[in-house]
Amino acid sequence: MTPDDLVTPIPPPPCHPVQQGALCGSARRQGALPRVTPASADAPSVQAPPREFRFRVRPARALVAGGAAGAAAGAWLWLRQRREQERQRRRREALRGLALTHADFRLRDQTGAPRAKSDFRGQWVLLYFGFTHCPDVCPAALERMGRAAAALERDPALPPLQPLFVTVDPERDDEAALRRYLRDFHPRLLGLTGSAEDVRAAAAAFRVYASAGPRDADGDYIVDHSVLIYLLGPDGLLLDCYGSGKSAEELERSVREHMRTYQPLE
């Protein structure tokens, strides 16, 4: 008999499925299994990448992110530029009907010389409708126009600008009255007058409202009228208009920008 014959074999346990959570929970409650920590785990440890490698990875990620952001910004700017070009194209198409050849007028300047709207084709024009007996609004508008024109004239890179004043009171504003009135403003300011019918046609071409008020005991009266300053481009397009709230400096900057970005009709 050998020592092995004295050992009674132990039968294997029955094969029953056991939930892992139940085993771990019951074993830990009974103290049968030690709590496994990273320090006591037998699994091979995964070492962190070297410090110099980690530092190389982070700038690379930043470069990728920065490149993606730059590409997105470039695409947005390109799309915005295309939309602006399309808007300008549609605007030019809509303004074709306001070209000089489609809405001409015939008046006289302060020297008596005939002037037609088509005479100013190829020029930049600032245009204002008013009357010489206006107490305050018209002189202020002509002063702003003159200051803006003088400032633009000091830049030799810019094309010349012609200021125009069209009366809405032809009954009192003949050539002599215009000469007396305009001498206090820009030296190149042209004043235009004509018959009542011709003046109405000129005002209608720019949708200008004008209506004479009641006369006082001396026969004097005030003319209610639109107070906009109009900017015409070399093709006769109505490019912009400015109310009484625009200063001479703002007027100058706007005209300068229009000159810089101007595109003629095709």
Q: What's the length of the chain?
A: 266
Q: For residue 138, say whether it is annotated as part of any ligand binding site.
A: yes
- Eight-state DSSP code of residue 168: S
CB-based contact 256:152 (threshold 8 Å): yes
Q: For residue 134, say whether it is annotated as part of any ligand binding site.
A: yes
Q: Which residues contact 190 (CB under 8 A, 6 or more apart)?
A: 109, 110, 115, 162, 163, 164, 165
CB-based contact 130:138 (threshold 8 Å): yes
* HSE toward the beta carbon, residue 9, CA cutoff 13 A: 4
DSSP H stretches of helix in the chain: 20-30, 51-94, 137-153, 175-182, 196-205, 248-261
Number of Cβ atoms within 10 Å of the Cβ of 163: 24
Task: Show binding-site residues for Cu cation.
Answer: 134, 138, 225
Binding-site residue ranges: 134, 138, 225
